[in-house]
């Protein structure tokens, strides 16, 4: 009987050891799988406006961000309306755009988590060197727009629902003017670079962000006539897409991107960009 009890005790102990080993191995495999899964999600889909990308700022920052964090940025750029739409369709993890009312609406509808203000520059009005509408020296963009309209001089608009286009239309609306369909109003339906090309060709006035103008190859064919009035400030914000809307959203990566962009290192890089080539920064940090 004692021998039988000893044998039972032995096999019971052996069974317990085996169960512990199996369960430990399962836990280790599970943890390893989770770590491996986390490692695979290093791509951040950033949807941004053309002015930030085409000015060269994002390519300038991208290398440092990827080196510092281990994430890879997949950047698509378009007008702010189209950039925000990518967040609505689940094709972006994070937005970097510049149209406050559209951004707030995006968040109110549950697509975005929080609007984080990053930086600003200024919209400017450029046009023919001889300034036939006489806008140089006026105190505001609305006054300049009124003069352009009264003169009948050509004005080029992006007409693409971008942040720049929204800001331009807001000024016309404040004057009670609907420029659509007017002989002097040229809507391109294209990005900033292509629209500046049209303005240069037609020697027309155009409303643009300063960074796009300064970095454009044809900037010397158009004069900078108005800048830095109160109604020309252009603010850029970041928004992480809401995971509750799109479960596959890389919210961890989006949060890491926003955190890095608000770091002292990124701020220094942003405010240094453009100084060497243009003698002034193209963007300023919004404190």
pLDDT at residue 225 in the model: 97
CA 10 and chain centroid, separation = 67
Average pLDDT over residues 125-129: 97
Which of 277 and 94 is assigned the larger pLDDT?
Answer: 94
Residues 6+ apart with CB under 8 A from 118: 96, 236, 237, 238, 261, 262, 285, 286
Confidence band (pLDDT; 50, 70, 90) for 36? very low
C-alpha separations of 223 from 171, 172, 210, 220 in Å:
21, 22, 12, 7
The answer to whether residues 80 and 49 touch, using CB atoms and an 8 Å cutoff, is: yes
Is 51 in the same domain as 71?
yes
Is 148 in the same domain as 110?
no
User: Structurally, how many domains does the chain consist of?
Assistant: 2
For residue 194, is it within any domain?
yes
Average pLDDT over residues 48-64: 92
For residue 11, is it within any domain?
no
Confidence check: pLDDT of 100 > 50: yes
Average pLDDT over residues 35-51: 77
Confidence band (pLDDT; 50, 70, 90) for 22? very low
Confidence check: pLDDT of 86 > 80: yes
121, two tokens:
């520059």
Domain endpoint, select from 209, 232, 255: 232
pLDDT above 70: percentage of residues in the chain? 86
Is 157 in the same domain as 59?
no
Please state, rounded to an integer, the average pLDDT across all residues of the chain. Answer: 88
Is 153 in the same domain as 177?
yes
pLDDT at residue 27 in the model: 45
Tens digit of each residue's pLDDT (9 = 90 or more) over 237-263 = 999 999 999 999 999 999 999 999 999
Is 175 in the same domain as 267?
no
Instruction: Give the pTM.
Output: 0.78
The answer to whether residues 190 and 158 touch, using CB atoms and an 8 Å cutoff, is: yes
Give me Rg for the CA atoms of the chain.
27
Is 100 in the same domain as 50?
yes
Average pLDDT over residues 32-44: 61
Is 240 in the same domain as 115?
yes
pLDDT at residue 287 in the model: 73
Of the ranges 79-88, 141-150, 223-232, which one carries the lowest mean pLDDT score? 223-232
The answer to whether residues 208 and 160 touch, using CB atoms and an 8 Å cutoff, is: no
Is 62 in the same domain as 145?
no
Q: Give the residue numbers spanning the domain of 129.
A: 122-232
For residue 139, is it within any domain?
yes
Question: What does the alpha-carbon distance between residue 234 and residue 1 come to, in Å, rounded to a whole number?
Answer: 90
The answer to whether residues 239 and 95 touch, using CB atoms and an 8 Å cutoff, is: yes
For residue 17, is it within any domain?
no
Please report, for the domain that includes residue 107, its CATH number. 3.40.190.10
For residue 188, is it within any domain?
yes
Confidence band (pLDDT; 50, 70, 90) for 29? very low
Is 187 in the same domain as 256?
no
Is 56 in the same domain as 81?
yes
Domain endpoint, select from 232, 250, 265: 232
Confidence check: pLDDT of 3 > 80: no
For residue 187, is it within any domain?
yes
For residue 29, is it within any domain?
no
Is 97 in the same domain as 126?
no
Confidence band (pLDDT; 50, 70, 90) for 51? confident
Confidence band (pLDDT; 50, 70, 90) for 228? confident
Domain endpoint, select from 232, 253, 273: 232
Confidence check: pLDDT of 31 > 90: no
For residue 31, is it within any domain?
no
Is 112 in the same domain as 250?
yes
Residues 6+ apart with CB under 8 A from 168: 123, 157, 158, 207
């Amino acid at each position: 009987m004692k021998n039988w009890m000893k044998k039972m005790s032995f096999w019971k102990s052996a069974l317990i050891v085996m169960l512990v080993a199996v369960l430990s191995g399962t836990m280790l495999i599970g943890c390893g799988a989770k770590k491996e899964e986390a490692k695979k999600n290093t791509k951040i889909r950033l949807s941004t406006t053309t002015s930030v990308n085409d000015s060269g700022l994002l390519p300038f920052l991208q290398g440092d961000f990827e080196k510092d964090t281990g994430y890879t940025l997949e950047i698509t750029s378009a007008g702010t309306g189209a950039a925000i739409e990518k967040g609505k369709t689940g094709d972006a993890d994070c937005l970097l755009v510049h149209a406050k009312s559209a951004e707030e609406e995006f968040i109110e509808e549950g697509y975005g988590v929080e609007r984080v203000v990053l930086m600003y520059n200024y919209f400017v009005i450029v046009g023919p060197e001889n300034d036939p509408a006489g806008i140089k020296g006026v105190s505001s963009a609305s006054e300049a727009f009124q003069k352009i309209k009264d003169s009948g001089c050509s004005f080029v608009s992006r007409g693409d629902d971008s942040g720049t286009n929204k800001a331009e239309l807001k000024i016309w609306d404040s004057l009670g003017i609907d420029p659509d369909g007017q002989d002097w109003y040229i809507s391109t339906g294209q990005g900033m670079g292509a629209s500046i090309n049209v303005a240069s060709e037609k020697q027309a006035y155009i409303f643009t962000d300063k960074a796009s103008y300064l970095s454009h190859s044809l900037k010397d064919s158009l004069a900078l006539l108005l800048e830095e009035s109160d109604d020309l400030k252009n603010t850029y914000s970041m928004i992480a897409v809401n995971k509750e809307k799109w479960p596959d959203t890389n919210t961890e990566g989006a949060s890491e991107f926003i955190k890095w962009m608000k770091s002292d290192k990124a701020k220094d890089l942003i405010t240094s960009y453009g100084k060497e080539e243009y003698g002034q920064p193209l963007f300023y940090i919004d404190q």
